[in-house]
Amino acid sequence: WSTENFPWTKKLEANNKKVFGNHSFRPNQREVINATMSGYDVFVLMPTGGGKSLTYQLPALICPGITLVISPLVSLIQDQIMHLLQANIPATYLSANMEWAEQQEILRELNSEYCKYKLLYVTPEKIAKSDVLLRHLESLHVRELLARFVIDEAHCVSQWGHDFRPDYQGLGILKQKFPNIPVLALTATATASVKEDVVQALGLVNCIVFRQSFNRPNLWYSVIPKTKKCLDDIDKFIKENHYDECGIIYCLSRMDCEKVAERLQECGHKAAFYHGNMEATQRAFIQKQWSKDEINIICATVAFGMGINKPDVRFVIHHSLPKSIEGYHQECGRAGRDGQRSSCVLYYSYSDYVRVKHMISQGGIEQSPFSSGYNRTTSANSGRILETNTENLLRMVSYCENDVDCRRFLQLVHFGEKFDSATCRKTCDNCLKNKSFIEKDVTETAKQLVELVKLTGQQFSSSHTLEVYRGSLSQQVKKHRHDTLRLHGAGKHLSKGEASRVLHHLVTEDCLVEEVKKSDFYGSVSSVLKVNGSKANDLCSGRKTMLLRFPSSVKASKQSNSE
């Protein structure tokens, strides 16, 4: 799909320069455009800031007819339309909370002989709940003026995605009614199960999938121990590295947002706070000031970010622990969308873990604006949900406590992506430390873990497997009689961190597979470990050995691994 020999290539390149002001294409943009313009259904996984919009806006501009874009948030849509109109591309939107007369006006234009719009944005309930729009689409289709359907934030279709929206599930109707109109589904959420779900729900056929690395080379990651002087540290960090530049500070609670903002103002920064407890008008005001650079720093809950298309965010600071690696990656992703170097700093303390855990159990964490109304519980969380949320949080903790592995590697593992730490080029704190490491042969441990997964019938999570391996006598372990297994406690000489690193490495090496078992309405996913026969055989038969890096200080205590 990367050739430059399509009939539209010249026009494509000319318009990319002239209308959008881009000198070249970013990775996969040309490929996606060629595939969708060839009439295929296309599924695109591209990280935040990767440039998804161009992949449908440019075809919309040069193809005859109108492109229908389904997008979840009106604020996001308005932002897009503003940019399109600035570039002289006729675009509009329909949403439920628009004046009736205004809606009529737009529908009338759709019915006119040569509809002037190139792009029409709608929120998903417009498709799910309104026959009127479907009738207009039919009429456009008959007149051959319907070019393409674009489903933005397509992971919202999936109950396994972290932002499930019921109205997205109704979008399958588009392919049913208009089987020959190509669909372009776009998302920045990466897991395989979500992708499968989306493809199925939308009814995509012979779908072409583009997926690229979720690594963001221009973001520099670090985790810093959080002390009582945290706010002084943040002030100093900004002054030394990003003075008068734009940034976001994610805080856990609304009160934290206000406290941090106030303190930064005292220190002379143009800071403001933003959270779900504010009036909508007040939030819109802050957003506007931020986009006009009247405010540099926003201290916010995760409610802030979705739909913020500011390319020059130079830093994202986490004042406390994010609740999952996926969330963390997405929040960091709001920095450096223009490709320039930007910092992602996380202030970590174990006491924040306890705090976040408590908030999760109370259902008191503010979700992204998407989720509110759908995914929020007001009562305390319980059972399964609590368990998976806690597991996500624990992974985040182990990310923070890991002072050995490349941060990029640790994040990308989570998305099932292999990453060679050498390519980090010291752009994360762990790679930068340049500590001395020893390579250790962990083949025996790895074999035993694979064996243990088999022994427990491939029905259990990684944390359970690790508990059994390290000899836990917890209720859960006893309930399944796993304390009677041959390998129960076989890894008791290993630290938890060490054993879990070997296990995670088995997953990244494809010897073990984390299979999604169940999700809850929070979108948290629980998984069980399965053995991947051929890869695991290489290991068990001795054809393959496994080496891992450890800081050399660990040497004395933990190297007695040879059984």
- Where does this chain bind Zn ion (CB under 5 A)? 406, 424, 428, 431
φ and ψ of 88, to 5 deg = 65, 30
Q: Is 387 exposed, middle or buried (0-12, 13-18, 19+ CB in 10 A)?
A: middle
φ and ψ of 455, to 5 deg = -60, -35
CA 363 to chain centre: 21
CA 228 to chain centre: 31
Which tokens in the block code for residue 539? 């290991």
Report helix angle 443-455 to 462-469, nearest 10.
110
3-class DSSP state of 289: helix
Instruction: Report the residue number, 20 or 374, with the smaller CB distance to ligand ADP.
Output: 20
3-class DSSP state of 58: helix
Does 15 participate in binding ligand ADP (rule CB under 6 A)?
A: no
Binding-residue pattern over the window 287 to 326 for ligand ADP, x denoting contact by CB under 6 A: ----------------------x-x---------------
Q: Which of 105, 123, 12, 125 is nearest to 60 (CA)?
A: 12
Which of ligand ADP, Zn ion, none interacts with 406 (beta carbon under 5 to 8 A by kind)?
Zn ion
Residue of 34, 40, 51, 360 interacting with ligand ADP (CB under 6 A): 51
Residue of 33, 35, 42, 54 interacting with ligand ADP (CB under 6 A): 54
Strand 313-318 to 342-348 pairing: parallel
Q: How far is Cα 77 from Cα 121, in angstroms, rounded to an integer? A: 7
Does 25 participate in binding ligand ADP (rule CB under 6 A)?
A: yes
Q: How far is Cα 542 from Cα 158, in angstroms, rounded to an integer? A: 41
Strand 119-122 to 66-70 pairing: parallel
Q: Which of the ranges 52-60, 425-433, 445-453, 463-471 carries the binding residues for ligand ADP, by CB under 6 A?
A: 52-60
Residues binding ligand ADP: number (CB under 6 A) = 16
Q: Which of the ranges 47-55, 71-79, 238-246, 407-415 carries the binding residues for ligand ADP, by CB under 6 A?
A: 47-55
Q: How far is Cα 214 from Cα 329, in angstroms, rounded to an integer? A: 9
Instruction: Report the residue number, 26 or 517, with the smaller CB distance to ligand ADP.
Output: 26
Instruction: Report the residue number, 271 or 424, with the smaller CB distance to Zn ion.
Output: 424
Instruction: Report the residue number, 157 or 428, with the smaller CB distance to Zn ion.
Output: 428
Which of Zn ion, ligand ADP, none interacts with 25 (beta carbon under 5 to 8 A by kind)?
ligand ADP
Residue of 36, 49, 190, 260 interacting with ligand ADP (CB under 6 A): 49
Instruction: Report the residue number, 54 or 513, with the smaller CB distance to ligand ADP.
Output: 54
Which of ligand ADP, Zn ion, none interacts with 428 (beta carbon under 5 to 8 A by kind)?
Zn ion
Under a CB-based contact definition with an 8 Å cutoff, are residues 324 and 397 in contact? no
Which of ligand ADP, Zn ion, none interacts with 52 (beta carbon under 5 to 8 A by kind)?
ligand ADP
Does 448 participate in binding ligand ADP (rule CB under 6 A)?
A: no
Binding-residue pattern over the window 333 to 352 for ligand ADP, x denoting contact by CB under 6 A: ----x---------------
Instruction: Report the residue number, 85 or 547, with the smaller CB distance to ligand ADP.
Output: 85
Instruction: Report the residue number, 277 or 309, with the smaller CB distance to ligand ADP.
Output: 309
Which of ligand ADP, Zn ion, none interacts with 215 (beta carbon under 5 to 8 A by kind)?
none
With a CB cutoff of 8 Å and minimum separation 6, the contacts of 288 are none
Residue type, position 116, single letter: K
Residue of 22, 218, 253, 265 interacting with ligand ADP (CB under 6 A): 22
Which tokens in the block code for residue 308? 């913020």
With a CB cutoff of 8 Å and minimum separation 6, the contacts of 27 are 50, 212
Q: Which of 71, 187, 163, 73 is nearest to 120 (CA)?
A: 71
Which of Zn ion, ligand ADP, none interacts with 337 (beta carbon under 5 to 8 A by kind)?
ligand ADP
DSSP letter for 155, please. G
CA 364 to chain centre: 21
User: CB 165 → ligand ADP: shortest distance, Å?
Assistant: 18
Q: Which of the ranges 48-56, 373-381, 414-422, 514-522 carries the binding residues for ligand ADP, by CB under 6 A?
A: 48-56
Instruction: Report the residue number, 155 or 504, with the smaller CB distance to Zn ion.
Output: 504
Does 215 participate in binding ligand ADP (rule CB under 6 A)?
A: no
Give the number of other CB atoms < 10 A from CB of residue 258. 16
Instruction: Report the residue number, 406 or 453, with the smaller CB distance to Zn ion.
Output: 406
Does 53 participate in binding ligand ADP (rule CB under 6 A)?
A: yes
3-class DSSP state of 246: strand
Which of Zn ion, ligand ADP, none interacts with 442 (beta carbon under 5 to 8 A by kind)?
none
3-class DSSP state of 468: helix
Which tokens in the block code for residue 386? 């609590």
Residues at the site binding ligand ADP, with contacts judged by CB under 6 A: 22, 24-26, 29, 46, 48-54, 309, 311, 337
